């Protein structure tokens, strides 16, 4: 269970750690925003929406690398599914053209459907994985699909040490 692993992490770091158990509500009320990390786009495959899976150093002490990479990879897969050019996109395009694009007043495009899935996935990830670690992911669509913004929170009750500080050497991962 993630919380157990978490407990291990907490006991390992001898220095003051600002990692506390938060749920989404607690995060908003009791934690204060310390920092924001931005995951940039990966353009190696062209202009398709894809984010870099490189693990940022600021999150070193906050979350396990594999969890983070899983999240980004799943998001990349969702976007790839939305932007896939194949039979379904042709059908959608041709049908829409024949109806002079009025059909989009009635039905949702495939991209919009996938965006809803992404939004649900991000919320689920926030609730289960990120909020307990004092992090929060912002849906990329709210940042123009340019970055994945990860907000790093620290407990208001903490003694003001910066949360993502690289000086705390937490080896547990």
Partner 1 sequence: MSAVMITRKVTRKWEKLPGKNTFCCDGRVMMARQKGVFYLTLFLIVGTCSLFFAFECPYLAVHLSPAIPVFAVLLFVFVVAMLLRTSFSDPGVLPRALPEEANFIEMEIEAANGNVMAGQRPPPRIKNVQINNQIVKLKYCYTCKIFRPPRASHCSICDNCVDRFDHHCPWVGNCVGKRNYRYFYLFTLSLSLLTIYIFAFNIVHVVLREYRNIFEHVVSLTPHCTVLEVLVCFFTLWSVVGLTGFHTYLISLNQTTNEDIKGSWSGKNRVQNPYSHKNFIKNCCEVLCGPTYPSVLDRRGVMLEDSTRPTPSDASAASTYKSTNPVSQTTKSSAPLIPNEHTPEEAKPSIGAGTQKSTSSPKEEKPPSPTSPNAVAPAVIKESAH
What residues make contact with partner 1 under the rule CB under 8 A? 24, 27-28, 32-47, 52, 54, 56-58, 82-85, 89-90, 92-94, 96-97, 100-102, 104, 109-112, 115, 119, 122-123, 126, 136-139, 141-147, 149, 151, 162-166
Q: Which two tokens stand for residue 61?
A: 């002490």
List of residues 6+ apart from 36 with CB closer than 8 A: 149, 150, 151, 152
DSSP state at residue 5? H
Return phi, psi of residue 84, to 5°: -65, 135
Looking at the Cβ atoms of 9 and 115, the one nearer to partner 1 is 115
Q: Report how far Cα 6 is from the mean position of its chain's Cα atoms.
A: 19
Looking at the Cβ atoms of 8 and 142, the one nearer to partner 1 is 142
Question: What's the CA angle centered on 149, arms 60 and 31, to 5 degrees?
Answer: 70
Provide, rounded to whole angstroms, the least separation between the CB of residue 124 and partner 1.
10
Provide, rounded to whole angstroms, the least separation between the CB of residue 119 and partner 1.
7
Looking at the Cβ atoms of 5 and 150, the one nearer to partner 1 is 150
Provide, rounded to whole angstroms, the least separation between the CB of residue 7 and partner 1.
26
Looking at the Cβ atoms of 41 and 170, the one nearer to partner 1 is 41
Return phi, psi of residue 77, to 5°: -65, -40
């Amino acid at each position: 269970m993630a919380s157990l692993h978490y407990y291990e992490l907490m006991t390992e770091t001898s220095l003051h750690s600002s990692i506390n158990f938060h749920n989404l509500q607690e995060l908003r009320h009791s934690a204060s925003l310390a920092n924001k990390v931005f995951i940039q786009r990966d353009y190696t495959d062209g202009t398709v929406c894809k984010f870099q899976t490189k693990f940022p150093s600021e999150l070193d002490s906050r979350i396990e690398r594999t969890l983070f990479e899983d999240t980004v990879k799943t998001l990349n897969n969702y976007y790839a599914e939305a932007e896939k050019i194949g039979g379904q996109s042709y059908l959608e395009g041709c049908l829409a053209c024949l109806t002079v694009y009025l059909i989009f007043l009635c039905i949702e495009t495939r991209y919009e459907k996938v965006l809803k899935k992404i939004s649900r996935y991000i919320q689920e990830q926030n609730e289960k994985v990120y909020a307990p670690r004092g992090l929060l992911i912002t849906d990329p669509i709210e940042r123009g699909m340019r970055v994945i913004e990860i907000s790093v929170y620290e407990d208001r009750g903490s003694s003001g040490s910066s949360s993502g500080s690289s000086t705390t050497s937490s080896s547990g991962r």
